[in-house]
């Protein structure tokens, strides 16, 4: 029970738990690994509960998206209620607003949360007081939940302003401040709207990357999700432990609660002479990575550089075999390192300029490739070739039709493939 | 570019090897297998394009230098514009060293300038044709042949073009075809569908969660109701059973109560009365018994006491007897010692006598004892002894020394006499110096003789030379005038004949005569010429002979000089010989004899001198010895007097002691020791006698004391006092024991009396208690008392029964009030209990049935809910779904790449066919005509098909499939040549390497092929490797400027 006399108020702010949601990766893992990955969100939540108890906080704030309603995952809801019950047994309360992924309407009526948990209503903002065990009124928490998945109104406009006799006031909201790119425009709002209310701390949810939008009065923070789920969510993930002392100053600490880290690395294949070399190099890099980060990692490897084994690794089957091999034989004994995908952006060791000067069928290939961007006719031909697959009725909804840049990249790789087969590439 | 020279520093088994003057057109490298054709080939390629690093996947042969030298080498090449360069590369060098033909490096020329833009693969594939390539070609199927032809024309790439196109199509096809179902992507799609189905199923389940929970609640309610009903029933049943159980007890209770009323009451009965009374009676009885026993004991003891009696007298003397007893041992041992002492005394006496006798006559006990053997005597003895000894020793020494020297004195005298004699004998003839001189003279003489001889010969030589010269001169002067007169006469005669003949018109005989005469003149001329020639020859061969007059005069002068010299020497010789004692000039033998004699004499002189020296030394020695002898004699006389003195002193001392004078010191010392020993013996004897006395005395005392006692108490004596004392002691002990026993018995009697007193006390108290008890129960006597107690017991028993029954019933009735229960019991009819019970039990069964049914339903529902809650599958399935999705995307991308590659390749092929192929075909055509011996004139490739068609000279066209094996091969070769030539014309001409490509052709084809090769050599240098000498010949016949390098010779 870590609590000093100076710490008047202590709480943990988290959001976007997305319990039970899966990882979005490439590799097909064996059952055990799949199990590990699918339980990661539960493990992160468990860590948060343990943290609350260990730090002896007063309450836990959750700013929405606790689970993915479209999965209709009962286990997630039950797991969640178990966690809160544990908190309740330790005298820790919980304040929840619901977000677009877990609106009020989507929760099972049969999953009971402890009495001491407050779920803010979706019709209008509520103000709840928090009293310490010896009766002191330490904080007010204001919050409002999403009723359904689609809420486009600016909910912050309904929040009441802080009154004179209110103690430390916290606003709880699932929203999108300003316009942060890449996120759908649910419940947009403006930083000024938040400032208008005059609260001391805004606990926000919806953006998965942790960050502080505004430092001083109010402190506006996104806690981010406690466990990254795909390659877009790299970097540390966790929750904020916030402490307020007697003078009212706010100290916040970010605590990493993830058990698996997503990471991307680039490996230069310039010196590689064989597949065994590549395997060794990748293993070395991965074990370095594991040593640096000191936790389980899922990583995506981009191979770059000019190498001599281009024609061996251009084949997707070969890459998949390779990836599978890397995942079956663990790289490090301490922490797991899983390879999600290996992208081959290498090129063969062929001096294209030299080849172009050869004046034979091989140089013709380069000449043709150089001309393609300038000839709409040739582009059309290329697109026709690709249409066969991408416009296939069974596949069109699954595949993203390549845009022009993507097309040029494909053409370049095709050329590299041809050259590597025709020229040989050895000195 | 052409290669002129090859220098290998170290490569495989080649070391420091040079191939020079390679031909610009065709160079043949001929060598059997294993001579290094391949090695040489590799060398060329590596120098031009680089050595492999040795790392990497392939197990390439690195051709490390096995015979020494640096790994690498250089080539002398001539570039396309005619300049000479040296192209050098060693293993490990990334760029080659290019220098001018004289070795200075050039910085502005790169390998590309010389080799063109082609890389090693291109060079290997295009500019080299091997017999394996052709052999492979011959095994191909028809469609492949067509493809190969095409590829040959297109330029050999690492993977042949058409093969590459096929490869791409295959790879593409594995991933996806528009109608296919087994390819990768359709497979993944199917898998994805499956996973999505599973996900959907699970999701449907999730929705049932709420309804399941409601059902569960319902069942639980029903369960509770039934349960409470059951409980009520159970209660009733148990009540009835209890009544049943308690019934018997109830009956018993009632009976007991009735009996109790009938018994009389007894008050104040002492508790445990009967048992107490019984106990007291018992106690009294046993006490009486004990009293009787005690009395009996006392009687017995008194009787015993009577029987024991003691002897008081002996008891009085207890102490004395004890003391004597203690002394028994001592007495006994004393007796033994006494005996031993007697014996000892005898021995000692004997010893003393012996000692006395040893000392000899004149010695008796008194003398012995009074003799002083103390230390002072000893000291004196040793002092004198020493003195005597020393004197003797020094005297002895002095004498010895004197004798020694005297002997020496004698020896020296003898030696001197001997020496004198020798000196006389060995006197030499003359002294040494004279002899030396003589010897020297002889050697000079010998030298001179030799010189004289030499001079003689020299003079002789000169004489001969002079003679010879004059001879020659004569001859020459003779010969210098070979007469010409005869010659002139003959010639004149000849002409005369001729004229005569002419005049007389006898030309012919005149001619003949003329001729003969001319001939004779000729002969005569020739012979004279020969003669003088001979003489001149003679002169020529002896250049030292100076035949001039000057020379001759000089010679004479020299000759005279030398002759004079000789005369002088001879004079000297004779003089010296005379000096040495010879009459005439001696011969060598006489000389040497004389010399050796002289030497002997010389030796003798030397010996004589040494003898003289020796005599001088000896004289000196003689004088020394003489003086020494005198000294020694004096010393000896002194020592003799010392000795006499010492002896006198000794004798005096001995007589003072009373000992014989003539005894030696050792004997005296011995004597002293003996005396001392004897003295000791005598003193021992005295001691022994004293001991004996003492012992005898004490024994006597002891015997007296014993006597005294035995007399006093009138005891019988035994043989010896100690035995007596033993007996006494024994008797004493016996008496003492008896006395002790008597005391014991008396003690026991007292004890018994005491016991008796106690017992009677006890008896009295018991009687007292008993009478008290009786009166407490107000019983007159004991039997009445007993009657009372019986009644009391019976009452008690009944009361206990009553109590127990009550308790049983209370236990059974449990919670119910006791009175109520008793009431019910009273009202119970046993018969009805049974039937009631049965009815109720039946009801119970029904309800239990209901309950179990409900429980089952509850269990089922719970299970379903648990299943939903567990949900392991959903997350894993979602994961798999997402992975599959990504995989499909990846493979699609891959397929797109292959598709695009196919498209591009096709475009390139089209381009080639449109623009390049015609030219190449044109070139190939040339070669084809040659190589087929003009049988085929044309190669045609129609625009719209990939086909290659050939046209015979007669005009007949054939497709490739219709060609014979051999012709197809020829066509293939032509296409290759055509490509090479086209490339060489447009880019750079590089040397072409052929590896025995003609080996499979029949002779006719071979010859034709040679023509084609020759044609190619017009643009490219050809390096042809073969192991067949016939090939070499054939090529030489076809091509003009062919160089053959025999590799066998370079091994």
List CB contacts of A3: < 8 A, sequence separation 6 or more: A10, A55, A56
CA A257 – CA A17 distance, rounded (Å): 11
Same domain for A376 and A304? no
Count the neighbouring beta carbons within 10 Å of the beta carbon of residue A387: 12
- Out of A349, A369, A397, a domain closes at A349
What pLDDT is recorded for position A248? 82
Q: What burial class does residue B20 get, using C-beta atoms within 10 Å of its C-beta: 0-12 exposed, 13-18 middle, 19+ buried?
A: exposed
- Whether B526 and chain A come into contact, CB under 8 Å, resolves to no
- Between helix A74-89 and helix A40-55 the angle, nearest 10°, is 10
Residue A2 lies in a domain: no
| Residues near B266 by beta carbon (within 8 Å), at least 6 away in sequence | B788, B791, B792, B795
pLDDT tens-place string over residues B376-391: 888 888 888 888 888 8
CB B98 within 8 A of CB B91: no
Cβ neighbourhood burial of B199 (10 Å; 0-12, 13-18, 19+):
middle
Contacts B164 to A, Cβ<8 Å? 418, 421-422
Average pLDDT over residues A94-109: 85
A411 falls within a domain: yes
Task: Show residues of chain A in contact with B880, CB under 8 Å.
Answer: 28, 34
| Residues forming beta bridges with residue B950, ordered by sequence position | B939, B958
Of B92, B993, B119, residue with least CA distance to A426: B119
In the A/B pair of chains, how many CB contacts fall below 8 A?
204
Share of chain B above pLDDT 90, in %: 1
Find out whether A425 and A310 touch, Cβ atoms under 8 Å. yes
Q: What is the DSSP string of A283-350?
A: HHHHHHHHHHH-SEEEEEEEEESEES-HHHHSSHHHHHHHHHHHHHS-S-SSS-EEEEEEEE--EES-
CATH number at residue A98: 3.60.21.10
Distance, in angstroms, between B876 CA and closest chain A CA?
Answer: 6
Tell me whether the omega of the peptide bond preceding residue A218 falls within 30 degrees of 0, making it cis.
Answer: yes
User: Which chain B residues are closer than 8 Å to A410 by Cβ?
Assistant: 893, 896-897, 900
Tokens found for residue A359: 């004046």
For residue B247, the distance in angstroms to the closest alpha carbon of chain A comes to: 56
Instruction: Round the average pLDDT of chain B to a whole number and report it.
Output: 82
CA angle (A363, A369, A371) in 5-degree steps: 105
* Interface test with chain B among A110, A272, A360, by most B beta carbons within 10 Å: A360
> Is pLDDT at B544 greater than 80 in this prediction?
no
pLDDT digits (tens, 9 = 90+) for B280-301: 888 888 998 988 988 898 888 8
Give Cα B989 distance to the centre of its chain.
63
Which tens digits make up the pLDDT trace of B183-197?
Answer: 888 888 888 998 888
Query: Strands A219-222, A211-214: parallel, antiparallel or unpaired by DSSP?
Result: antiparallel
Q: Find out whether B665 and B385 touch, Cβ atoms under 8 Å.
A: yes
Q: Which of A18, A19, A20, A22 to mutate to test the interface with B (most CBs of B within 10 A)?
A: A22
Confidence of residue A426 (pLDDT cuts 50, 70, 90): very low
At residue B1027 the predicted structure's pLDDT band, cuts being 50, 70 and 90, is confident
Is the CB of residue B477 less than 8 Å from the CB of residue B539? Answer: no
Residues of B in contact with A21 (CB under 8 A): 875, 878
Pull the structure tokens for residue B854. Answer: 């409900």
Query: Do the chains contact at A368 and B904, CB–CB below 8 Å?
Result: yes
CA-to-CA distance for B855 and B865, rounded, in angstroms?
15
* A196/chain B closest Cα distance in angstroms: 42
Identify the weakest region by mean pLDDT among A208-217, B95-104, B325-334, B735-744: B95-104
Tell me if chain A has a CB within 8 Å of the CB of B127.
Answer: no
The string of pLDDT tens digits covering residues B201-240 is: 877 766 777 778 888 888 888 888 888 888 888 888 888 8
CB atoms B120 and A427 under 8 Å: yes
Distance CA B616, CA B370 (A): 75
Residue A405 counted as domain residue: yes
Q: What share of chain A is helix, strand, coil (3-state, %, to 5)?
A: 35, 25, 40
Does residue A211 share a domain with residue A114?
A: yes
In the predicted structure, residue A192 carries a pLDDT above the cut 70: yes
Please give the pLDDT value at position A14.
95
Q: Are residues A266 and A324 both part of a single domain? A: yes
Tokens of B544: 């030292």
Last residue of a domain, one of A208, A233, A256: A256
Q: What is the pLDDT of residues B645-673, one digit of tens each?
A: 888 888 888 888 777 778 888 888 888 88
* Residues A326, A302 within the same domain: yes
Q: Which two tokens stand for residue A65?
A: 């998206």
Confidence class for position B834, pLDDT limits 50, 70, 90:
confident
Decide if A59 contacts A274 (C-beta within 8 A): no
Distance between CA A98 and CA A107 in Å, rounded? 10
CA distance A301 to chain B (A): 15
A293 falls within a domain: yes
What is the mean predicted confidence (pLDDT) over B929-940?
A: 84
State how far the Cα of B975 lies from the Cα of B939, in Å rounded to an integer: 10
Record: contact B207-A37, CB cut-off 8 A: no
Closest residue, chain A, to B909 (C-alpha): A361
From chain A, the residues in CB contact with B912 under 8 A are: 361, 364
- Using a CB-CB cut-off of 8 Å, the residues of chain B touching A364 are 908, 911-912
Res A2: pLDDT: 61
- The predicted model gives B1016-1039 an average pLDDT of 84
Residue B802 has pLDDT above 50, yes or no: yes
Question: CB of A10 within 8 A of CB of A245?
Answer: no
The total number of residues shown for chain A amounts to 427
Helix (H, G, I), strand (E, B) or coil at A129: strand
The answer to whether residue A45 sits within a structural domain is yes
Interface test with B, best of A79, A361, A369, A412 (most B CBs within 10 A): A361
Residue B22 CB contacts under 8 Å (≥ 6 apart), including other chains:
B2, B3, B4, B5, B6, B1021, B1023, B1043, B1045
DSSP lists the bridge partners of residue B76 as B5, B86
Do the domain assignments include residue A1? no
What is the value of ipTM here, to two decimals?
0.77
Nearest by Cα to A360 from B77, B127, B1012, B80: B127
> What region, left, alpha or beta, does residue B979 occupy, with left being phi > 0 and alpha being psi -120 to 50 degrees?
alpha
Q: What are phi and psi of B157, to 5 degrees?
A: -110, 175
**Phi and psi for B833 in degrees, rounded to 5?**
-55, -50
Q: How far is A383 from chain B (nearest CA, A)?
A: 9
Let me know whether A275 and A394 are in one domain. no
- Are B894 and A382 an interchain contact pair (Cβ–Cβ within 8 Å)? no
Q: Residue B869 pLDDT more than 80? A: no
Q: pLDDT, tens digit, for every residue of B944-976?
A: 666 778 888 888 888 887 888 888 888 888 888
B535, pLDDT greater than 70: no
B884 touches chain A (CB under 8 A): yes
Question: Across the interface, do B874 and A424 touch by the CB < 8 Å criterion?
Answer: no
Q: Which of A67-71, B602-606, B729-733 has the lowest mean pLDDT?
A: A67-71
What is d(CA B230, CA B843) in angstroms, rounded to the nearest whole number? 9
Task: Give the Cα separation of B527 and B546 in Å (integer).
Answer: 27
| Residues A313, A244 share a domain | no
Task: Examine the domain organization and report whether A182 and A280 are in the same domain.
Answer: no
**Which pLDDT score is estimated for B343?**
92
Q: Is B752 on the interface with A (CB under 8 A)?
A: no
Domain extent for A410: 353-427
Same domain, A165 and A241: yes
pLDDT exceeds cutoff 50 at A427: no
Structure tokens at B694: 């003492």
Contact B878 A21 (CB under 8 A): yes
Contact B896 A361 (CB under 8 A): no
* Averaged pLDDT, A288-312: 84
| Rounded CA separation B398/B426 (Å) | 44
A25/B886 Cβ within 8 A: yes
Band of residue B538 on the pLDDT scale cut at 50, 70, 90: low
Judge if A252 and A272 occupy the same domain: no
Best of A421, A423, A425 to substitute, by most chain B Cβ atoms within 10 angstroms, is A421
pLDDT at B452: 83
Collapse the DSSP code of B259 into the 3-class scheme (helix H, G, I; strand E, B; otherwise coil) and give the result. Answer: helix
Q: Is the dihedral of CA B547, B553, B554, B559 positive or negative?
A: positive
Determine which of B172, B193, B897, B916 to mutate to test the interface with A (most A C-beta atoms within 10 Å).
Answer: B897
For residues B729 and B327, is the Cβ–Cβ distance under 8 A? no
In-domain check, residue A142: yes
Task: Name the residue of chain A whose CA is nearest to B889's CA.
Answer: A399
Secondary element (H or E) of residue A172? strand A168-174
Report whether pLDDT(B828) > 80: no
User: Of the residues A314, A349, A384, which one is the last residue of a structural domain?
Assistant: A349
In 10 A of CB B795, how many CB atoms?
16
> Is this structure's pTM higher than 0.80?
no
Residues A240 and A282 in one domain: no
Task: Tell me which DSSP letter residue B1023 carries.
Answer: E
Q: Are A129 and A64 in the same domain?
A: yes
* Contact indicator for B408, B625 with CB cutoff of 8 Å: yes
A86, A94 contact by CB (below 8 A) = no
Tokens representing A309 are: 């084994």
CA distance A105 to B261: 87
Q: Please determine, for residue A425, whether its predicted confidence score (pLDDT) is greater than 70.
A: no
- The C-alpha atoms of residue B1036 and residue B1044 are separated, in whole angstroms, by 9
Give the count of beta carbons closer than 10 Å to the beta carbon of residue B439.
19
Are A113 and A104 in contact by the 8 Å Cβ rule? The answer is no
Look up residue B13 and give its two tokens.
């088994």
The chain A residue lying nearest B904, using CA atoms, is: A365
pLDDT of residue B932: 85
**DSSP reduced 3-state for A368:** helix
3-state SS assignment for residue A403: coil
**A270 and A322 within one domain:** yes
At residue B135 the predicted structure's pLDDT band, cuts being 50, 70 and 90, is confident
Partners of A176 in the beta sheet?
Answer: A188
The arithmetic mean of pLDDT across residues B357-378, rounded, is 79
pLDDT of residue A142: 93
Cα separation, A416 vs B827, in Å, equals 113
> Are residues B668 and B381 in contact, defined by beta-carbon separation less than 8 angstroms?
yes
Whole-number pLDDT of residue A58: 92
Best CA proximity match to B672, nearest among B385, B308, B338: B385
Our count of domains for chain A comes to 3
| Cβ-Cβ contacts under 8 Å for B872 (sequence gap 6 or more) | A35
- Is B534's pLDDT higher than 60? no
Mean pLDDT of B820-843: 81
- Over the range B857-895, which residues count as b (16 or more CB within 10 Å of their CB) and which as e? bbeebeeebeebeebeebbbbbbbbbbbbbbbbbbbbbb
pLDDT tens-digit readout, B731-767 = 888 888 888 888 888 888 898 889 888 888 988 988 8
Best CA proximity match to B185, nearest among A272, A398, A265: A398
Mean pLDDT in residue range A60-66? 92
Contact between B904 and A24 using a beta-carbon 8 Å cutoff = no
pLDDT confidence of A375, banded at 50, 70, 90? confident
Instruction: Give the pLDDT confidence score for residue B278 in this predicted structure.
Output: 85
């Amino acid at each position: 029970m870590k609590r000093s006399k100076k710490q008047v108020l202590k709480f943990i702010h988290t959001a976007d738990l997305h319990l039970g949601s899966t990882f979005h990766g490439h590799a097909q893992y064996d059952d055990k690994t799949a199990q590990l990955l699918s339980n990661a969100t539960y493990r992160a939540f468990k860590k948060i509960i343990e943290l609350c108890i260990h730090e002896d906080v007063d309450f836990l704030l959750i700013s929405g998206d606790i689970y993915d309603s479209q999965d209709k995952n009962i286990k997630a809801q039950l797991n969640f209620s178990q966690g809160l019950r544990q908190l309740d047994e330790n005298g820790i309360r919980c304040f929840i607003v619901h977000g677009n992924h877990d609106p009020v309407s989507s929760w099972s009526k049969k999953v009971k949360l402890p009495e001491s948990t407050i779920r803010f209503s979706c019709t209008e903002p509520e103000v709840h007081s928090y009293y310490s065990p010896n009766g002191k009124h330490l904080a007010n928490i204001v919050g409002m939940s999403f009723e359904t998945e689609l809420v486009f109104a600016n909910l912050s406009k309904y929040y009441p302003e802080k009154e004179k006799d209110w103690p430390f006031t916290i606003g709880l909201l699932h929203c999108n401040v300003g316009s942060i790119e890449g996120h759908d425009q649910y419940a947009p709002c403006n930083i000024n709207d938040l400032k208008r209310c005059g609260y001391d701390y805004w606990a926000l949810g919806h953006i998965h990357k942790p960050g502080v939008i505004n430092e001083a009065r109010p402190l506006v923070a996104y806690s981010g999700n406690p466990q990254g789920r795909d390659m877009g969510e790299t970097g540390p993930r966790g929750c904020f432990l916030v402490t307020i002392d007697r003078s009212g100053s706010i100290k916040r600490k970010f605590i990493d609660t993830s058990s698996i880290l997503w990471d991307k690395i680039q490996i230069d294949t310039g010196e590689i002479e064989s597949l065994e070399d590549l395997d060794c190099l990748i293993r070395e890099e991965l074990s370095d990575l594991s040593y640096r980060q000191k936790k389980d990692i899922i990583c995506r490897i981009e191979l770059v550089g000019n190498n001599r084994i281009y024609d061996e690794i251009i084949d997707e089957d070969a890459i998949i075999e390779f990836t599978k091999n890397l995942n079956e034989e663990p790289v490090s004994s301490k922490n797991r390192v899983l390879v999600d995908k290996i992208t081959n952006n290498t090129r063969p060791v062929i001096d294209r300029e030299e080849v172009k000067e050869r004046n034979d069928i091989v140089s013709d290939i380069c000449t043709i490739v150089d001309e393609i961007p300038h000839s709409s006719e040739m582009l059309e031909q290329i697109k026709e070739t690709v249409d066969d697959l991408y416009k296939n009725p069974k596949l069109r909804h699954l595949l993203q039709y390549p845009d022009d840049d993507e097309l040029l990249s494909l053409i370049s790789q095709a050329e590299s493939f041809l050259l590597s087969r025709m020229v040989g590439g050895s000195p | 570019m052409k290669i002129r020279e090859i220098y290998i520093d170290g490569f495989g088994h080649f070391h420091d090897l040079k191939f020079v003057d390679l031909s610009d057109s065709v160079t043949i490298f001929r060598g059997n297998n294993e001579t290094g054709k391949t090695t040489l080939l590799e060398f060329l390629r590596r120098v031009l394009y680089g050595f492999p690093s040795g790392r990497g996947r392939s197990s390439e042969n690195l051709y490390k230098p096995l015979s020494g030298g640096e790994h690498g080498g250089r080539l002398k090449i001539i570039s396309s514009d005619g300049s000479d360069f040296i192209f050098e590369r060693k293993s490990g060098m990334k760029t080659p060293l290019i220098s001018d033909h004289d070795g200075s490096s050039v910085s502005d020329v790169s390998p590309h300038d010389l080799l063109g833009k082609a890389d090693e693969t291109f060079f290997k594939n295009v500019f080299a044709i091997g017999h394996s390539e052709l052999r492979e070609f011959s095994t191909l199927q028809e469609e492949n042949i067509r493809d190969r032809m095409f590829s040959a024309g297109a330029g050999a790439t690492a993977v042949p073009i058409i093969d590459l196109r096929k490869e791409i199509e295959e790879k593409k096809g594995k991933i996806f075809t528009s109608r296919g179902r087994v390819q990768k992507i359709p497979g993944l799609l199917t898998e994805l569908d499956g996973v999505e189905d599973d996900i959907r199923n699970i999701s449907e389940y999730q929705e049932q969660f709420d309804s399941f929970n409601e059902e569960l609640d319902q069942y639980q309610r029903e369960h509770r109701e039934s349960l409470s009903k059951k409980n009520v029933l159970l209660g009733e049943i148990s009540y009835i059973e209890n009544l049943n159980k308690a019934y018997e007890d109830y009956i018993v209770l009632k009976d007991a109560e009735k009996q109790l009323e009938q018994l009389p009451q007894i008050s104040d009965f002492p508790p445990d009365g009967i048992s107490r009374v019984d106990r007291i009676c018992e106690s009294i009885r046993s006490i009486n018994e004990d009293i009787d026993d005690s009395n009996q004991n006392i009687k017995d003891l008194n009787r015993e006491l009577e029987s024991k009696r003691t002897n008081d007298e002996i008891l009085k003397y207890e102490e004395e007897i004890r003391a004597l007893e203690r002394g028994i041992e001592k007495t006994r041992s004393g007796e033994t010692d006494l005996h031993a002492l007697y014996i000892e005394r005898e021995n000692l006496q004997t010893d003393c006598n012996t000692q006395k006798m040893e000392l000899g006559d004149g010695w008796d006990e008194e003398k012995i004892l009074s003799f002083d053997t103390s230390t002072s005597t000893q000291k004196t003895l040793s002092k004198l002894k020493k003195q005597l000894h020393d004197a003797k020793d020094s005297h002895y020494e002095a004498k010895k020394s004197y004798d020694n020297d005297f002997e020496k004195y004698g020896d020296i005298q003898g030696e001197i006499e001997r020496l004198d004699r020798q000196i006389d004998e060995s006197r030499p003839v003359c002294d040494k110096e004279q002899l030396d001189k003589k010897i020297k003279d002889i050697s000079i003489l010998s030298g001179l003789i030799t010189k004289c001889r030499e001079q003689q010969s020299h003079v002789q030589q000169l004489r001969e030379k002079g003679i010879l010269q004059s001879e020659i001169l004569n001859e020459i002067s003779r010969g210098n005038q070979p007469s010409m007169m005869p010659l002139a006469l003959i010639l004149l005669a000849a002409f005369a004949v001729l004229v005569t003949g002419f005049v007389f018109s006898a030309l012919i005989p005149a001619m003949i005569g003329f001729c003969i005469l001319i001939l004779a003149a000729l002969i005569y001329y020739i012979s004279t010429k020969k003669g003088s020639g001979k003489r001149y020859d003679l002169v020529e061969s002896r250049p030292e002979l100076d035949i001039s007059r000057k020379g001759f005069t000089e010679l004479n002068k020299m000759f005279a000089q030398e002759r004079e010299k000789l005369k002088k020497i001879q004079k000297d010789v004779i003089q010296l010989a005379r000096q040495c004692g010879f009459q005439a000039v001696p011969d060598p033998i006489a000389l040497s004899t004389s010399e050796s004699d002289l030497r002997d004499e010389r030796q003798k002189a030397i010996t004589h001198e040494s003898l003289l020296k020796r005599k001088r030394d000896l004289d000196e020695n003689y004088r020394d010895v003489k003086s020494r002898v005198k000294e020694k004699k004096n010393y000896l006389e002194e020592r003799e007097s010392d000795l006499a003195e010492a002896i006198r002193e000794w004798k005096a001392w001995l007589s003072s002691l009373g000992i014989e004078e003539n005894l030696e010191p050792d004997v005296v010392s011995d004597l002293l020791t003996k005396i001392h020993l004897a003295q000791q013996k005598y003193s021992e004897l005295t001691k022994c006698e004293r001991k004996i006395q003492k012992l005898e005395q004490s024994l006597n005392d002891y015997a007296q004391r014993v006597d005294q006692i035995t007399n006093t108490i009138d005891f019988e004596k035994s043989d010896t006092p100690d035995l007596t004392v033993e007996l006494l002691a024994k008797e004493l002990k016996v008496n003492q024991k008896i006395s002790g026993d008597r005391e014991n018995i008396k003690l026991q009697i007292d004890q018994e009396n005491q016991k008796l007193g106690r017992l009677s006390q006890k008896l009295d108290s018991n009687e007292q208690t008993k009478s008290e008890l009786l009166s407490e129960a107000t019983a007159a006597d004991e039997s009445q008392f007993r009657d009372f107690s019986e009644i009391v017991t019976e009452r008690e028993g009944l009361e206990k029964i009553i109590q127990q029954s009550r308790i049983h019933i209370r236990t059974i009735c449990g919670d119910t009030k006791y009175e109520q229960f008793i009431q019910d019991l009273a009202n119970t009819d046993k018969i009805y209990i049974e039937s009631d019970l049965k009815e109720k039990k039946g009801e119970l069964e029904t309800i239990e049935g209901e309950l179990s049914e409900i429980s089952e339903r509850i269990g089922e529902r719970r299970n379903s809910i648990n299943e939903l809650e567990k949900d392991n599958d959903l997350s894993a399935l979602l994961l798999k779904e997402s992975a599959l999705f990504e995989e499909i995307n990846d493979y699609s991308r891959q397929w797109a790449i292959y598709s695009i590659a196919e498209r591009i390749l096709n475009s390139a092929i089209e381009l080639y066919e449109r623009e390049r192929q015609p030219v190449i075909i044109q070139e190939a055509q040339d070669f084809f005509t040659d190589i087929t011996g003009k049988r085929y004139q044309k190669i045609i490739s129609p625009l719209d098909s990939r086909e290659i068609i050939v046209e015979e000279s007669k005009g007949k066209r054939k497709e490739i499939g219709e060609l014979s094996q051999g012709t197809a091969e020829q066509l293939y070769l032509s296409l290759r040549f055509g490509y090479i030539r086209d490339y060489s014309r447009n880019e750079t001409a590089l040397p072409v390497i052929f590896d025995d490509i003609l080996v499979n052709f029949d002779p006719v084809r071979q010859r034709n092929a040679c023509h084609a090769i020759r044609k190619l050599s017009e643009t490219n240098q050809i390096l042809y490797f073969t192991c067949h000498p016939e090939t070499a010949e054939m090529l030489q016949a076809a091509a003009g400027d062919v160089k053959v390098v025999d590799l066998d010779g370079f091994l």
